[in-house]
Structure formats: C-alpha cells, structure tokens
Structure 1
Amino acid sequence: MRLLFTTTLTLIMSLSFSQDNSENDPKITELVMSMSQRSLVMPGYLTDLKALVARQAYEFWKNGNTEPYVSHLNVYQALYQANKYLGYDSIRNMAFNQVGFHSNTVTSVVFGSDPNFYYSSSTDGKVLKWDLTSPQSIPQTIYESDKIVQSIEMSSDGKVLMAIFYQEGLALIPIDQSIEEDISVLEDPEPVQTATFIPGERRYLSVTKSGDLILKGFDSKSENVGKTALKVNQLKVDEQDGTIYAGTEEGVLEAWEKPYEVKESPVEDIMENWKNQSYFGYKLGSFSINCLDIGPDRNTLAIGRDRGDVILWDIAKKELIRIISGHQSTVTDIQFSPNGKLLLTTSRDGTARVWNLEDSRKLPIILDDHDDWVFTGSFDPTGRKVITGGGDEYIRTWPIDPAILAFRICVMVNRSLTNEEWNEFVGSDYEYQMTCEN
C-alpha cells in the first residue's frame, strides 16, 4: 500500500507544474483566486468543504492558463490551511505537519547523509534526531548538555555533528557508527563566537571571543589562519577554494582567501585595505549580517540581514547581484535548495519564505504557521520539503509542492464536491467534474 501511495504521489508531483502560461485566461485566474480565498476564510469546522474547495481551485490552477506570479501563493495557502484541519489532533493541539518535543526555543535544524533523518537543537541543551518518514514519532536524544545550544552544523560527509554553545565552547558528536570507534564526543571548551566545518576534511574553523580564526583538527591540533576586529555571527567555507566568509554584526562581509594572512582585518578604512590581499571586507550597510549560504553553483553567496532583506553576492566578481526584500523583521537563517533554484529564509517576523530565484517577479511561498519568531529552516535533500523551528518550541515540516497537499486532501476526504456545492463555489457555467477521482 505504501509503495502504491508513493508511486501515485510521485506521478502527481511530476504533473503539478505543467501549466502553459503563454496565454493567461483572466476568468480562470479570477476563479482560482476567489475559490482559494473562500477556502481560506471558511471556518475550520467545515473541514471537508474547506479542503475540497481548495483542491478544486488547485485543479483549475494546474490545468488552466492562470496568472503566474501571484496565483500559486493563494493556491498554496488554501491547500495548506485545509490540510491543517484534516486529521487535526485537538487533544494534543497538533496539526498534520507539526512536531515538538523541545522544551524551549528551537535554534537549528540540519540534515545528515540519510535523507530520512534530520537533527534539531534547542536552548534546552538537547540535540534530537527525527525520522522524517514518521513525523509524530518520538525523537532520539543524541546529545544533552546544561549549556544553551546556539546552533548545530553538519560535516560535509554527514558523519559528525557540531553543537555550538552560546558564549561557551562546542562539542563534536559522531552520528555514524563507522567513525564512532575513531572519535568519541569531543568537547572544545574554548569560548567561541561561532564555528563551522571545513568541507571534506576532519577539521573545523572557529572564531574565538578575541577574534582569532582558529583551524582545528579532530586531534585538537590548531592553526591560526586569520584575525578580525568585528563580531562574527556566521561562517561559511567555500569547498572549492577554501575561502572563508564571515557575516558580522557591523554589516561587513569579511573573507579570507588562501593562503591565509594572519593579521587583523582593517576597520577604519575597510574598502581601501582589502585590495590585492588575501583578506577583503565589503561594508553592506549598517545592518547586522546574521546568516550566509553558498549556492550549489559555487558562485553565489546569499546574505541575510537584520534589515529583513537578502543580498545575493557574486563570489567571482565580488559584487552585489540583487537585493531580495519581503520580511518585516530580521532574517535569521538562509539556505539554497539543492538545485539552486529556490532560496529559503526564516525571520523574526514569524514566517519562513521560499523564493523563486529564476523569476524575481514571482511572489514567495509564505510559511506562516509558527506562533513566534522562526529561527531556523532547512530544505530536505530532495528540495520538496522545508523543515522550520522557532520560539514556539515546535518544528514544522512543509511540503512546498502544492501537489503533495492536494493529493493528501483526496486521501483524507474521500469524496468530491456535490453538484450544489459546485454551483455555489465554482458556478453552473463550468461543467461539473469530480474533485477527487475514486
């Protein structure tokens, strides 16, 4: 049964974006928008009808020539809200995509080498392992501390997890049995601002409280590779050439290229001093840079700021590509999708957003069901789901392909709109069709 479900869903997903928008039909677009909005405002106790109206709006959107820049957002929101009420657990107050066992703010979510499992950290001091195929199952506690876990990072081979403690040190946690004999949990007590793994190596890079960039091996051997006078919020290392990127509280993007030169970064005249050196710094305004990610093309750096916007930076040319605006508050986390076509951002405005990088005119999908700041987000390895966590202590799993949400409605409801319902929400001038084929 599970194989049949998966095969059917895969087929539906492959057809979900087959629209031909070369000639948009304003009448179909208006109908899709109207039905999506009517589903959204429909009370939750009309569960089946709310879901079927959203599903039928999706069918018109998928098969019709609708406006391509806004309608997808309305369809997605209607499908998501409908799914939220289908199978809602009123006793535990849990929606279909909601999991939660952390007892405090969720600070990070990351995937390892197995796409069916992801890991989360929290200010409660725990690092948990979750089964993506069984969202409501009890997670495994793989690490516990009395320290606040500021964030977690995964090594490029998916075998070691790094827990970075707030204003303290860090811990390296083996999560693959093949290396547990080589290393045990390694705790580095030296206080750090932040840290990250070196891609493809058993080494990690940290920024000490005094601003030293220290490269350490799992054997604790260390090497000083740089110095900064600024407060660093996040580090990223380019796996191709080893360039170190640092997002700073002062709004400066810093970088150290190989061979590294150990000297303090210039602060007073930052634009004049980086040229022809292994260090460079580019002041991107006065807003703190909170998060960074390097795209799969290895040529684009995404920069999330306190201003609520994202800067796309050309790595080769060392220049701005464009600015993406939309969040109403600080951007807290950022990640490219595996194929580089989408960008995920999370924010203190309580939302996560999925941006289409191929067409800047297309509105982002807004994931807005957290009850507090959203601190972290990650695509799953397929790029079809997003995992988010935040101040409400919950983790949520979001299918970003509307076909998944539409398919679930017909599995859960097991009926179609009646003729009377069709006439009310679609209209008698459209020929009746089964919303859900049996």
Structure 2
Amino acid sequence: MRSLFTTTLLLIAIFIKAQSNQTTTELVMSMSQRSLVMPGYLTELKALVARQAYEFWKEGNVEPYVSHLNVYQSLYEANKYLGYDSVRNMAYNQVGAHSNTVTSVVFGDNPNHYYSSSTDGKILKWDLSNPGSIPETVYESNKIIQSIEMSNDGEVLMAIFYQKGLALIPTNKDNKSDIQVLEDPQPVQTATFLPGERKYLTVAKTGELILKGFDAQSEQVGKTALKVNQLKVDEQDGTIYAGTDEGVLEAWEKPYEVKESPIEDIMKNWRKQSYFGYELGSFAINCLDISPNGNTLAIGRDRGDVILWDIPNKKLIRIISGHQSTVTDIQFNPKGDLLLTTSRDGTARIWDLTDSRKLPIILDDHDDWVFTGSFNPTGTQVITGGGDEFIRTWPIDPAYFAFRICAIVNRNLTQEEWAEFVGKDMPYKVTCGE
C-alpha cells in the first residue's frame, strides 16, 4: 500500500512538472510573438517583453525544438529598433559601402577583420570590432567579382572574376615586396586555394583542372566535361571535390599512399587518380564545405536543400530541407556542430547538426537574395551579404541581444505591463535589475 501511495505521489509530481513546463513554453512563445508583432515605435516595451521572454526561456525547462527560434527572432527585432538609424534607414548590425550585390565575405588571420567582394568590382576590409568604421578598399577593378577566397595563412586574397580570370591580392600592404598583385587572365569557371600551400586550382572554361603557383607555372591535374560551380580540396588527403551544374558531385582521389605533400602527389600522379562521379539528382550543386574533422561534405543545391555526405564511407548521411530557393553559400562553424546556409529566398539559416529535430535559427532581415555568409573564426557571429548591397552581423548567442537591451533601456516593465504581457497570476520580477 505504501509503495502504491509513493508511486502515485511520484506520478502526480511528474504530471505537475510537465504541466508547468508546458505553461512556461506557451508563455515564452506567446511573449516572443507579441514582441515581434509590436510596432517599432513602442521600442522599449517591445524590447522588454522580448527580454523577459528570454529570461523565462533561460530559466525554464521549455520545449527545445522551436522556442529558441522565437526567442532569437524577437530579441533581434527588438535590438534592431533600439539601434535603428532612421536617417540612413539602417539597423545597428548593418553596414553598407558597396554599390552593388555583395558576393562574398571571408575572414583573414585576424578574427576582427573580414573582407567583402561585390559585383561593383571592389574588395573592402572591415573591422568587426568597430562596425561603424569606414572600410578600407584593398582592391578595385572594372570587372565583376564573382567570389573571393582567402589563403590558409591569411596573406592572400583570390578574386575570381566573371568570365575574366582571377587576381591574387596581398591582404597586408607590407607584404607587397614579397607578394605582388597577380592578374591571371585565363577565364575560369571557378578556382580555390590549395590547403597550406601557395598554389591554387582552377577549372578552365574547357574543363581542365589546372594547378598553378604564384610564379604562374601550371600543370594539369584533372579534366571534367561538366560545368563546375565550386571546388573544394580536402586538406587531409588532397581529394578534389567539384559541385557541378548538372547535379553531379565529382571527386578525384588517389589510390596510393600520401607521403609528404598531397598536392605534389596530385601534380605527379594525377593520371593514376581514381575519379568518381556521384549523381545526386538533377539540381545544380552551387556550394561545398568540408567539416573541421574532415568526415562530412556539405552540399548546397538549387533545390533549396543541403546534402550531408559521409566522406570516409562515400554515402549520403541525410538531406536538410527548409530554404524556399537556391542555396548560395554554405559553411561549417569551427566546432563542426553548426551549419550556415544562405539562399535566394532572402534568408540565412543556422542549423544545429547535433539534433535534426531542432528548427534552424532564421536570419531574414535582408531585402534581397542572400549570396554569402561566414562564421567568424571564434564561431560566435555570422556575417551575411546579398543583393540589397548590405552586410549584416548576427551574434549566435541570444544572450548578447538580451544584454544589449538592458544596457540601453533604462527601465523595467511596469506592474500594468507585466499583468498584460506576462499575467496577473505570475509573481512580478524586474526584467533588467533595480
């Protein structure tokens, strides 16, 4: 009898806790949504409701798969209006200096500096620690810059021109005695740096994969009959991956033991390489990235989805769907547990790869296609750029947004506001401290 009584009490406690968790989840979701739809001229109230929802979310055992998205979006929207420049029509996390579409953003060896390229022919250097500063123009051309890449040592930028070849540009003016701006006029489909070496790989218009050094010497290392949109070289074994317009993932890998330099092996033995073509459907493959541990290849497609590919076992892991249009850029964070995607649907998304049930964080404040995105080297922020000519910075941890609200808003919710947005039956708390 006593055992039955104890079991009954335990079940009641579990039921009460479950009901409490459900109530907290509903409150967090409701407050986040009410903050989101609140007009921007109610700036402080909008921010405080979002902040209090965050406090309940952080303290309570709430639903783990959706609530984080609502909390993040409401906190971002509140911060946007707290720092809004109505004269220039710009939010606090938004910078603009390009006069046309932003095509790429990449980081160098300094975690506070990143570079952007545009179809306006410019490459700009930005200071992440001082968003309001005027960017430095490191390169300017009358050609359309299709994309840029950074060498592993952070000393050289590669600007890939639309149907006009490429240029190699030193990132530090002091390096110009060692590395001059080098123009390679041979038209290319795409190109990439080789990991750890001052060499780069191009795909010529006629399909030859050509490895070149900064001294302009070149050697063919492969051949393709398909249109290549992006190249990626595995720094662990030198395997070359190509995403093609026909939806085929091409791979050139070596059946022999790699001794010292995978790249030198490729140059000497490319005719002995094993070639594989993986048909992944009829949708163009636009972008590729390899996880930090080298085990997973992320493949962004025209279909609006991402294929995660198991590199060691050469098989599909899973497909991530969510974008409503072409995936334009893709990148793993430094830990490899998050994946950033950008799309022509006007959004960037941050996917949690540790749990497929969790909805992505959606970054949707661009007014046009989003063409490019990058994690900063510490993995704490995301930089995006697109067709609206602007670049935006996005902290990943919502705690940053929550802190900023209380640093700017000099009050708490009133008793009346608490009763309306939280509830009369909830004990009053100060949102931002005394």
Question: When the two structures are superposed, what TM-score results if normalisation uses the length of structure 1?
Answer: 0.91
Partner in structure 2 of residue 103 of structure 1: 99
Q: 2: CA distance between counterparts of 1:437 and 1:222?
A: 65
The answer for the alignment partner of 2:124 in structure 1 is 128
SS at match of 1:219: coil
Could you give the per-residue CA deviations for residues 241-274 of structure 1, whole angstroms, max 9, x where no partner exists? 11111000000000111354657xxxxxxxxxxx
Question: Residue type of the partner of 2:23?
Answer: K
Deviation at 1:134, TM superposition (A): 1.1
The yes-or-no answer on 1:385 pairing with 2:381 is yes
Equivalent positions of 1:286-297 (< 5 A) are: 286-297=282-293
Q: Does 1:372 align with 2:360?
A: no
2:30 — aligned with what? 34
Offset of residue 176 of structure 1? 3.0
Distance 2:275 2:433 in 1: 61
Tell me the equivalent position of 2:259.
Answer: none
Code of the residue aligned with 1:406 in structure 2: it is: A
Equivalent residue number for residue 58 of structure 2: 62
- The counterpart of 1:395, out of the listed 373, 391, 395, is 391
- Asked if residue 117 in structure 1 is aligned to residue 113 in structure 2, the reply is yes
Q: Counterpart of 2:161?
A: 165
- Partner in structure 2 of residue 11 of structure 1: none
Structure 1 runs of 4+ off > 4 angstroms? 259-263
1:53-107 per-residue CA deviation (whole Å, 9 max, x = no partner) reads 0000000000001000000000001001000100211001010111011000000
| Cα offsets for 1:401-423 (capped at 9, x unmatched) | 10001110001112111111111
In structure 1, what is the Cα distance between the partners aligned to 2:231 and 2:348? 21
1:427 is the counterpart of 2:423: yes
Alignment of 1:177-188 (within 5 A): 177=173, 179-188=175-184
1:218 to 214, 231, 236: 214
Aligned partner (choices 17, 27, 45) of residue 41 of structure 2: 45
Supply the AA of the counterpart residue of 2:394. W
CA distance in 2, matches of 1:316, 1:256: 14
SS in 1 for 2:430: coil
User: Do structure 1's residue 280 and structure 2's residue 276 form an aligned pair?
Assistant: yes
* 2:236 alignment partner in structure 1: 240
Q: Using the TM superposition, give the Cα deviation of residue 428 of structure 1 relative to its aligned residue in structure 2, in angstroms.
A: 1.7
CA contact (8 A) 1:88 1:94 kept: yes
- Matched with 1:190 is 186
Q: Tell me the number of residue pairs that the alignment of Structure 1 and Structure 2 aligns.
A: 405
Amino acid at match of 2:326: T
Specify the code of the residue in structure 2 equivalent to 1:356. D
Deviations 1:137-178 (A, max 9, x none): 110000000000000000011111000000111000011356
Deviations 1:299-321 (A, max 9, x none): 10000000000000011111100
Partner residue, 1:350 = 346
Amino acid at match of 1:329: S
Specify every segment of 5 or more residues in structure 2 that has no aligned partner in the other structure, as ranges. Answer: 1-16, 255-264
How far apart in 1 are the matches of 2:230 and 2:178? 28
Q: Which residue of 2 aligns with 1:17?
A: none
Identity of aligned residues (%): 79
Distance 1:433 1:385 in 2: 31
- Alpha-carbon RMSD: 1.3
Map of 2:8 onto structure 1 = none
Q: C-alpha separation between the residues in 1 aligned to 2:230 and 2:51?
A: 41
CA distance in 2, matches of 1:262, 1:434: 67
Q: What's 1:409 paired with?
A: 405
Contact 1:149 1:163 in 2 (8 A): yes
C-alpha change, 1:131 and 1:291, in structure 2 (3 Å) is same
Q: Whose Rg is larger?
A: 2
SS in 2 for 1:25: helix
CA shift digits 1:83-135 (9 cap, x unpaired): 01002110010101110110000000000000001000000000000000111
Please state whether the residue corresponding to 2:249 is helix, strand or coil.
Answer: strand
Alpha-carbon distance between aligned partners in 2 of 1:180 and 1:322, rounded to the nearest angstrom: 46
Equivalent position SS for 2:232: strand
Compute the displacement of 1:277 (Å). Answer: 5.3
Distance 1:153 1:279 in 2: 25
1:436 aligns with 2:412: no
Q: Does 1:94 align with 2:99?
A: no
Structure 2: distance between partners of 1:179 and 1:256: 34
> Over residues 20-62 of structure 1, what are the superposed CA-to-partner deviations in whole Å (9 max), with x where a residue is unaligned?
xx96700000000000010011000000000000000000000
User: Deviation of residue 393 (structure 1)?
Assistant: 0.3
Q: Please name the residue that 2:197 is paired with.
A: 201
**C-alpha distance in 1 between matches for 2:369 and 2:336:** 26
Q: Which residue of 2 aligns with 1:317?
A: 313
Structure 2 residue 138 is the aligned partner of structure 1 residue 137: no
Q: Name the TM-score, length of structure 2 as normaliser.
A: 0.92
Of the three residues 25, 31, 54, the one matched with 2:21 is 25
Deviations 1:221-259 (A, max 9, x none): 111000000000000011111111100000000011135
Q: 1:174 aligns with which of 170, 173, 189?
A: 170
- In structure 1, which of residues 67, 78, 81 is the aligned counterpart of residue 77 of structure 2? 81
Q: Which amino acid aligns with 2:391?
A: I
How many angstroms does 1:430 deviate by?
1.1
CA contact (8 A) 1:227 1:262 kept: no
- State the SS of the aligned residue for 2:74: helix
